[in-house]
Amino acid sequence: MKEFDHQAGTRTGILLSNLGTPDAPTASALRRYLAEFLWDPRVIEMPRLPWWMILHGIILRVRPSRSAALYKKVWTSDGSPLLHIAEQQRQQIQVALGTDTPVVLGMRYGNPSIAQALTELKNQQVERLVVLPLYPQYSGATTGSTFDAVSAELQRWRWVPEVRFINTYHQHAGYIASLCESIGRHIERYGIPQKWLFSYHGTPKEYHLKGDPYFCYCQKTTQLVAERMGWSEEQYMTTFQSRFGKAEWLQPYTDMTLEHLPGQGVKSVAVICPGFSADCLETIDEIGRENKEVFMEAGGEQYHYVPALNDDISHIKALVALLEPHL
């Protein structure tokens, strides 16, 4: 197929991207997924040779079976929650933008891949490309890595389209409003807890010290939501979850915070994960189950997880509003 149609008009295409998921909740599928994910130099910043030996000599021999057992707990008849929700988001954004603007989904790791998604857009003669990684707060390990994958694929094309890359939306008005709406619905159903915990996925502290803005962007999102909700500083805090390895990660840690709060007189909490645009293993199981157990066993009495924005209509409207200036 030729790469450029001399007779075609200008057409804009949208690439939505998220982290990705294994193809199945099995050890073999997790091994393939983790090998791709953990080999990304944006994710693990250490010399390649020693890391290759650690990854293939230790981690990929042990972790796939453990991770598969966790994925089995969240897997549904629709498959991976993250992939299913991301596809629902794609479909609703497609409806909102109309058929003249194709919207495709490409995961950074696993399937459907970014390369597959871009090829789909190329086959539709897209001449302008808008890339939206569904990570509200920029990090080199997530959004930056998405750019790498998009660039690597486009380097193989003879004709490269105009590219708009949306690298963060941590303070976008529609996104903040959507978060507040979800919190408002939670309050209507469960009331106001003693403490709101904003839990974001962690990254090594070293990345922050090297200049990654992720930590600051997370703090900004929390601040804007708290201001809009009218909360005092005593009502909320920002923490970081899902650390990996022995190095120091961004603090305070979510699990340790939940373990200590009951001893400080905080018996009811609600946890929000604004960094996740769709519910996945890290929210459903780690926050919804593991951290709840930590809090309750430490003396907590009421624990709630506020679901991610997922395909909520206010979230879809916010993402469309984020895209429209680039169309």
| pLDDT, tens digit (0-9, with 9 covering 90-100), for 3-54 | 655 555 579 999 999 999 999 999 999 999 999 999 999 999 999 999 999 9
Claim to verify: residue 83 and residue 230 sit in the same structural domain: no
**DSSP string for 45-66:** -S-HHHHHHHIIIIIHHHHHHH
Instruction: State whether 119 and 163 are in the same domain.
Output: yes
Number of domains in the chain: 2
The stretch 287-300 carries a mean pLDDT of 98
Report yes or no on 4 lying in a domain.
Answer: no
Does 141 share its domain with 281? no
What is the structure's pLDDT at 1? 44
Both 33 and 79 in one domain: the answer is: yes
pLDDT per position as a tens digit, 268-279: 999 999 999 999
Residues 159 and 5: beta-carbon distance below 8 Å: no
Q: Is residue 42 part of a domain?
A: yes
Co-location of 78 and 97 in the same domain = yes
Domain contains 1 = no
312-324 pLDDT, tens digit per residue, is 999 999 999 999 9
Closest CA to 223 of 258, 274, 280, 181: 274
- If asked whether residues 197 and 301 sit together in one domain, one would say yes
What is the CATH number for 190? 3.40.50.1400
Helix axes of 173-190 and 214-229: crossing angle, nearest 10 degrees: 60
pLDDT above 50 for 213: yes
Q: Could you tell me which residues are annotated as the binding site?
A: 201, 282
Q: Do residues 150 and 276 share a domain? A: no
Q: Are residues 184 and 41 both part of a single domain?
A: no
pLDDT at 261: 98
8 A C-beta contact, residue 200 and residue 137: yes
What pLDDT score was predicted for residue 246? 87
* 203 and 134 share one domain: no
**Which pLDDT score is estimated for 244?**
87
The identity of residue 28, as a single letter, is S
Annotated binding site for Fe(2+): 201, 282
Decide if 5 is inside a domain. no
Average pLDDT, stretch 214-235?
A: 98
Do 161 and 17 share a structural domain? yes
Long-range contact pairs involving 3-10 (C-beta distance under 8 Å, separation at least 24): 3/122, 3/157, 3/158, 3/159, 4/158, 4/159, 5/125, 8/125, 8/127, 10/127, 10/128
Are residues 82 and 32 part of one domain? Answer: yes
- Report the pLDDT averaged over residues 44-70: 97
pLDDT digits (tens, 9 = 90+) for 88-126: 999 999 999 999 999 999 999 999 999 999 999 999 999
Specify if 3 maps to a domain.
Answer: no
Q: What is the mean pLDDT of the chain?
A: 96
Mean pLDDT of 158-183: 97
Instruction: Tell me how far CA of residue 197 lies from CA of 173, 270, 321, in angstroms.
Output: 21, 6, 27
Cα–Cα distance measured from residue 5 to residue 116, given in angstroms and rounded to the nearest whole number? 20
Please give the residue range of the domain that contains residue 288. Answer: 173-306
Let me know if residue 236 belongs to a domain.
yes
pLDDT at residue 289 greater than cutoff 60:
yes
Residues 227 and 289 both lie in one domain:
yes
Q: Is residue 7 a part of any domain in this protein?
A: no
Q: Is residue 194 part of a domain?
A: yes
